[in-house]
Each structure stands twice: as C-alpha cells, then as structure tokens.
Structure 1
C-alpha cells in the first residue's frame, strides 16, 4: 500500500466530511421551525428576552458565522449545548452511543459470520442443506427490520420468555443477552444479501480459468480454495459487507425504538420532535462520519487484498 494512495484516501475523507458537515448544518438551518419557538412555547416573553435567547445560542449571527462556530467546536470535540437539557451534547451522546455501537457491532458479527458461512457452504458444496439455508436466508430478505423486531419480541420474549423485551442490560453478559433479539432483527435481511453475494462470487471464481488450470495441475483442492477462490471472492463481498454494515447505523433507529434501547437513533427521533437542533446536528454528523470512515477503511482494505487497486488498476 503506497503512501500516496493512503494520503489520497485520507484527503478524500476529510473533504467529504467537510461537505457533509456543511449539508447537515444547512439542512437544519433551512428546516421549518426554530429552537426559539420551542423555548418560548407556552410562555409570554418580551422582545428583549427573545433577543437575549437568540444571542445566547448565537442564532442572531449570519448562517456562515454560525456554521464556522459550530464546525470549529466540533473539531475540538465540542458539539454545543442541548437546548432541552441545558447540558453538553457530547456528554448526552456518550452513554447512548455505546448502546448503538454495541448493537451495530453485534449485528455486524452476525452478518459477517452467518452470511459468509452460508454463502461459502452453498458455493463450494451445493446440496440439500446448503440450498435450504440459502432459501431460508433469501426469504428473510423480504422481512423489514421493524417487522422482524415485532415477531421476534412476540415469539422469543413474550411467548417463550427466553429473552428480555426492553432495555440494554448492565455488564457484558447481560448486555449481550439484551441485545440478542435487536441484533438479529437488524441483521436478518443483510445476512441473506451477503450470503447470496458470497455464493455467487465463490461459484464465479471456481469457474475461472486460473482455478481450472490449478485443478488440472493436481494442486490440493484446499490450497486452491484458500489461495485462489476465497481470496479473489473476498473483494466484491467486502464491498457489499462494508456498505451493509455501514447502513446498519441508520437502520438501527427503528430497532432501537422497538426495543427501547436508548441509543442514538431513538434520541435522534425525540430531538427532532423537540427541535433540539444541537443534538440533531451532532447525531447526524456522527452517523455520516461513521459511514464515510467505514467506506474509507474498505478502500484501504482493497489495496491490501489486491495491490493493483492501490496502483490505479482494476482486477482483470
């Protein structure tokens, strides 16, 4: 991996984050409603008091000045003060972010492990078991996350009582137990997608000329699969898997609401309803930044799997 390639990807990361921050700030600034409307709701306030509130939250400044003030604060790790709770946005997000991160990581592990195992098995050893797993996983693609959350809750939490219904738990083991159903609901459709793509990629590599040549030369089958088939099939699978995992960040909003996990997603919904703009801006920026960073890491991983990508070439 060349230093020029890494520098180019990191430069693109910074530029994309800068554009994303401007879009997030501008979209909320242009949105209907105002924090002042929420602060003064149900209260009779003089124009002087309203002007004081505008000055306190810098709402009387030009939009570009407000954006620059917010952006420089974000660079320092300061996301501002919550209008609703009068507390630091960073401290309000810290505890909730851990719940979202734990949920997304748990779901990502399920997607990667289950999707790759099913896909590789179906690609290398097609049969009744592999075809049944693929059919079952394909059917799960049609189930939205919120429907899966309701069904899993009714069956495994309410009827059978195997899992807790709400909350994120305390301690590692208890948290894993509480996040089991939400993680399955979030990962269900993505497992099928990754499995089907893996199956297709493996079968394409098995039919490739270089693999057939290796087979005709009498090389061990396990060596061929490990060295040629799986390695080359990893690149398209890595693309979709990375994007799918990044998409879990946004999809987690619905699952957090269904299971009352008190994560960033549920907090974003309540903050939008209450016009708590600093919190909404911070959560949206965190979501977008996580998605962009994951995509950059995927690009860097490409160059490790196939150095031709770092040199500006494409695999043949």
Structure 2
C-alpha cells in the first residue's frame, strides 16, 4: 500500500476516534437526562429507607456529578474496564461476552444469505434488463427496502408458526445445527432488507460495466457470454464489495428488532433492556463497541477498495 493511501487511512482512523469520543459524550448525556431513576428501577416496589437509597447511589457512584461519572466510565473504558451492570449485577464485559456469539452468528447468517442470493439476482437483472426477472427483482427489492424488520419478522412468524410449521419461531435451541434452525427465520428477516440493497448495487454496477467499450470489444472478439460476464463482474465487484461491507452497519439496527421479535437473548435484546432500565454502563459500552465495529468495517471497506482497484494504487504511486 502506498504512502498516500496509508496517510488517507490514518486520517480516517483519527476522524473515527474523534467521532467515537463525541458519540460517547452524546450517549451519556442523553441517558443522564432521560427520565427515570436507576435506584428506583433497582429497588422496584420494595420499601426502602433513605439510608439504603443513599448507600446504593454511593455504591454505583450515582451521587457524583455527571462529569465525574463520565470521566470515571471513560477512564475505565480506556483501560479495558467496562464497569458493572446495575440491572444484571455482573461486569459489563461478562454480560456482553455471553450474548456476543449469538448476535455475531445471526449477523453472519443474514449477511451470507443476502449476498448468496442478491448478487446472482442482481447480475441476472442487469443481463436481462427490462425482462420479467428484472421487474420481479426490482419489486422484491422495493418491498425489502420498505418493510421494517419487525414487520417481516411478524409475517414470517405467522407463516411458519401457523401455516407451514416447519421452522422454530423463537428461542436459540440446544446448540449446533439446532441453533442454526432457530436463527433461520431471524436471519431471513434481516437478509431481506440487506439483500434488497445488494441487488440494487449489483444491478447498477453490472449495467455500468456491460455498457463499457471493453465489453463490446470482448464480444466482438468472439468471447463467450459467460466469459464476458465474468470479466464484467470482476470489475463490478469493486463497488459491490465496498458497498456490501458498509451495509453490514444496516444489521446493527435490524438486529435489535429481529432479536426482540424472535425472543433471542443477544446484544440487541441486552441493549433494549438496558436502555429501558437506564443501565448507563451497559448502554455506553455496548454502543461504543458497536460503533467501533462499524468504524472498522468502514476502514476495511476502504482498504478493500484500494486492494481491488489497481487504478487507485497506480494513482497513489504517481502522487507519491
């Protein structure tokens, strides 16, 4: 990788760090100012004395100012200490690690499923532009983009719980293939929205490549249509790959809705319950970790663009 490319990525990393810092301040401020009291949420309807309330506030440093609480959390976060969950009474790192595997598997299944279906469908739509396959794919893409994840999930629940009861509709199963079966419907509900975008990206990229001079020249030389499509797809893979990588961020918001719809104890459910309980340490840490993942995906997408497109590398060499 050339020096201009390294310099550009370094600037992006510094910008990402600044965004993460600003995001942590914003999230903490919103949670701190939100209505509700952590102590009351923790005690529930049990009678409590002022001494007990003050003891709980001191235990979780709730008697400190907002600035002191934020700096305490930030210092621990930078040293790898995410704090303790008030709601679960366990370290935040433990609460996240217990649910990370399930959410990661769900996102991976949804991403792989969407790419395996959407990329070939986008290629066929571009090759047969204006045909019934293209119109059908465009219609499905519009539905996938328009329908929210929870609505698709509820429809899948209706179909596979009552009409065709062949797949489990809630829970995570007993591990292994049983877990895969339980995650199939949530993955489909996530993959429909993501796949709709990938179809549009693939179709647009392939149409642009099929209209270029080198494709016309390849056909004039007598190359088979399969060879021409393979060459065009290789060049179209650059925007498809970078776009699909950035679309992984689409799964972040959708995962919360999918896990809530299908009763999955993943990170999305943990984030939802922590926000309702006003568990600041969990919300802060989990949101920042998700933001770090999104930033890393963005940087990897930029790096993939540099690796896949030799024109960018050659441009960087000339600039240096």
Task: Specify if TM > 0.5.
Answer: yes
Q: Which deviates more from structure 2 when the two are superposed, residues 257-266 or residues 209-218?
A: 209-218
**SS of 2:146's equivalent?**
coil
Quick one: which of 91, 104, 117 aligns to 1:88? 91
Aligned to 1:232: 235
Q: Separation in 2 of the partners of 1:223 and 1:77?
A: 52
Q: Deviations over 1:262-298 (max 9, x none)?
A: 1111222222222222222222223322222212211
> 2:172 touches 2:182 (CA, 8 Å); kept in 1?
yes
Aligned to 2:216: 212
**SS of 1:82's equivalent?**
coil
Aligned to 1:142: 146
Give, in angstroms, the shift of residue 91 of structure 1. Answer: 0.9
Give, in angstroms, the shift of residue 214 of structure 1. Answer: 3.9
Q: Which deviates more from structure 2 when the two are superposed, residues 50-59 or residues 241-250?
A: 50-59
Q: Deviations over 1:69-128 (max 9, x none)?
A: 212222333211111222111111212222211111111111111110100122134554
Q: Separation in 2 of the partners of 1:64 and 1:225?
A: 59
Aligned to 2:297: 294
Give, in angstroms, the shift of residue 40 of structure 1. Answer: 5.0
CA separation of 1:41/1:177 partners in 2, compared to 1, >3 Å: closer, same or farther? Answer: closer
**SS of 1:141's equivalent?**
helix
**SS of 1:79's equivalent?**
coil
Aligned to 2:11: 8
> 2:160 touches 2:167 (CA, 8 Å); kept in 1?
yes
Q: Which deviates more from structure 2 when the two are superposed, residues 107-116 or residues 68-77?
A: 68-77
> 2:171 touches 2:182 (CA, 8 Å); kept in 1?
yes
Q: Separation in 1 of the partners of 2:54 and 2:159?
A: 55
Q: Which deviates more from structure 2 when the two are superposed, residues 276-285 or residues 178-187?
A: 276-285
Quick one: which of 95, 103, 107 aligns to 1:104? 107
> 1:158 touches 1:165 (CA, 8 Å); kept in 2?
no
**SS of 1:195's equivalent?**
helix
Count of residues in Structure 1 that have an aligned counterpart in Structure 2? 311
TM-score by length of 1: 0.87
Q: Separation in 2 of the partners of 1:21 and 1:232?
A: 39
Aligned to 1:248: 251
Q: Which 5+ residue runs of structure 2 have no aligned equivalent?
A: none
Q: Separation in 2 of the partners of 1:108 and 1:39?
A: 38
Give, in angstroms, the shift of residue 41 of structure 1. Answer: 4.7
Quick one: which of 271, 275, 278 aligns to 1:272? 275
CA separation of 1:70/1:309 partners in 2, compared to 1, >3 Å: closer, same or farther? Answer: farther
Q: Which 5+ residue runs of structure 1 have no aligned equivalent?
A: none
Q: Separation in 2 of the partners of 1:270 and 1:111?
A: 28
Q: Separation in 2 of the partners of 1:131 and 1:213?
A: 29
Q: Separation in 1 of the partners of 2:289 and 2:261?
A: 22
> In angstroms, what is the RMSD of aligned CA positions?
2.5
